[in-house]
Amino acid sequence: PQRPEEARAFVSAFLRRSMPKKKEEAIQDVLSHKAVVLEYYSRKRKKQPRKKAKSLTARQRREMRLFHIEPEQQRYEVFLPLHELWKQYIRDLCYGLKPDAQPQMVQGKLLKADLHGAIVTVTKSKCPSYVGITGIILQEFKHVFKIITKDDKLKVVPKLNNVFSLEIDGFISYIYGSKFQLRASERSAKKFKLKGTIDL
The CATH code of the domain that includes 77 is 2.30.30.210
77 and 40 together in one domain:
no
Q: Side-chain half-sphere of 156: how many Cα atoms within 13 Å?
A: 7
91 and 42 together in one domain:
no
Please tell me what DSSP assigns to residue 182: S
- Number of separate domains in the chain: 2
Residue 142 belongs to domain spanning:
72-189
pLDDT digits (tens, 9 = 90+) for 133-189: 999 999 998 899 999 999 999 999 999 999 999 988 888 889 888 888 888 777 777
What are the C-alpha distances in Å from 124 to residues 158, 180, 200?
A: 12, 15, 8
Poorest-pLDDT segment among 16-30, 56-70, 112-126: 16-30
**Cα separation, 169 vs 166, whole angstroms:** 10
Residues in the chain: 200
Residue-averaged pLDDT of the chain: 81
Residue 130 lies in a domain: yes
82 and 169 together in one domain:
yes
**Phi and psi dihedrals of 132, rounded to 5?**
95, -10
179 and 83 together in one domain:
yes
**Cα separation, 90 vs 160, whole angstroms:** 25
Give me the pLDDT at residue 184, please. 77
**Phi and psi dihedrals of 22, rounded to 5?**
-95, 145
* Residues 6+ away with beta carbon under 8 Å from 197: none
Give me the pLDDT at residue 155, please. 93
Whether the pLDDT of residue 11 is over 70: the answer is: yes
107 and 161 together in one domain:
yes
94 and 146 together in one domain:
yes
Give me the pLDDT at residue 129, please. 93
Give me the pLDDT at residue 107, please. 82
41 and 102 together in one domain:
no
Whether the pLDDT of residue 41 is over 60: the answer is: no
**What is the distance in angstroms between the CA of the first residue and the CA of the last residue of the chain?**
99
**Phi and psi dihedrals of 173, rounded to 5?**
-120, 140
Asked if 158 contacts 142 with a C-beta cutoff of 8 angstroms, the reply is: no
94 and 179 together in one domain:
yes
